[in-house]
């Protein structure tokens, strides 16, 4: 059993014994001193920028409505670091392509204003002008930015499919999904000197502690550079 599974079982057993003791079904709580095992923190998997560039080039590499949508979606995910649920939940009115910003609604319905880079703006413009009208005309009308072949809002599962197909075309190995791009977005910002507090705001993290896991990835990269570059590192 993995550490996370063992921790969940331990919490369930403790809750059961606590309930039994409080409800008078048992004379005491033998599990009250049992503590769940500590779960090792997993470092987020970030793609090297070259792999991200290959993924972006492979996403929606045609001028069909579906292709324009897929390219816009992948550019948005990497260009803003949004969660997949935030991306598929966007309304057209949330986009300000002239001002190069997007309003994202995250967890707890908290909104944040994010900047859009030029590649994302260009991909979104192409999709909104030449792709979305054709897709949306097949449905009953929706304010969502991303729609499927039936003119309905694109689902999270379909967004995962877009990333999976792009990764296959780019010949990238491993499991690559929307969260991989979110991890890559944060890691690349920190590697290029962004302040962790700024990255926290961009990602929509309630606590900087959540964001600091990415600094561990960056420090690991710095160690590798140090080990191979400094004459006294060995």
**107 part of the active site:** yes
By the 8 A CB rule, do 69 and 132 touch? Answer: yes
Contact partners, residue 82, CB within 8 Å, separation at least 6: 76, 104, 114, 182
Catalytic pick from 45, 152, 156, 179? 179
Catalytic pick from 14, 69, 188, 205? 205
Contact partners, residue 122, CB within 8 Å, separation at least 6: none
**179 part of the active site:** yes
**41 part of the active site:** no
- Polymer length in residues for the chain: 234
**33 part of the active site:** no
Distance (Å, whole) CA 79 – CA 123: 11
Catalytic pick from 83, 132, 144, 183? 83
- Find, among 213, 204, 212, the residue nearest to 86 by Cα: 204
**8 part of the active site:** no
Catalytic pick from 32, 35, 107, 223? 107
Distance (Å, whole) CA 111 – CA 109: 6
Catalytic pick from 69, 182, 183, 188? 182
Which residues are known catalytic residues? Answer: 83, 107, 179, 182, 205, 214
């Amino acid at each position: 059993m993995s550490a996370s599974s063992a921790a969940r079982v331990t919490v369930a057993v403790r809750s059961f014994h606590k309930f039994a003791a409080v409800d008078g079904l048992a004379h005491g709580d033998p599990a009250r001193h049992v503590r769940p095992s500590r779960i090792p923190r997993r470092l987020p998997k970030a793609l090297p920028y070259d792999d991200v560039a290959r993924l972006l080039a492979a996403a929606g590499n045609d001028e069909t409505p579906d292709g324009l949508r897929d390219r816009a979606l992948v550019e948005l995910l990497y260009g803003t670091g949004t969660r997949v649920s935030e991306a598929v939940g966007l309304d057209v009115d949330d986009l300000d392509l002239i001002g190069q910003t997007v309003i994202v609604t995250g967890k707890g319905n908290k909104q944040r204003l994010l900047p859009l880079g030029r590649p994302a703006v260009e991909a979104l413009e192409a999709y909104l002008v030449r792709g979305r009208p054709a897709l949306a005309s097949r449905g009953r009308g929706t304010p969502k930015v991303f729609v499927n072949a039936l003119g309905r809002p694109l689902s999270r599962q379909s967004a995962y499919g877009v990333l999976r197909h792009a990764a296959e075309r780019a010949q990238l190995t491993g499991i690559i999904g929307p969260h991989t791009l979110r991890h890559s977005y944060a890691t690349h910002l920190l590697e290029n000197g962004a302040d962790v507090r700024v990255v926290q705001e961009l990602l929509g993290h309630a606590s900087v502690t959540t964001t600091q896991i990415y600094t561990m990835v960056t420090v690991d990269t710095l160690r590798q550079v140090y080990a191979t570059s400094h004459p006294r590192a060995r």
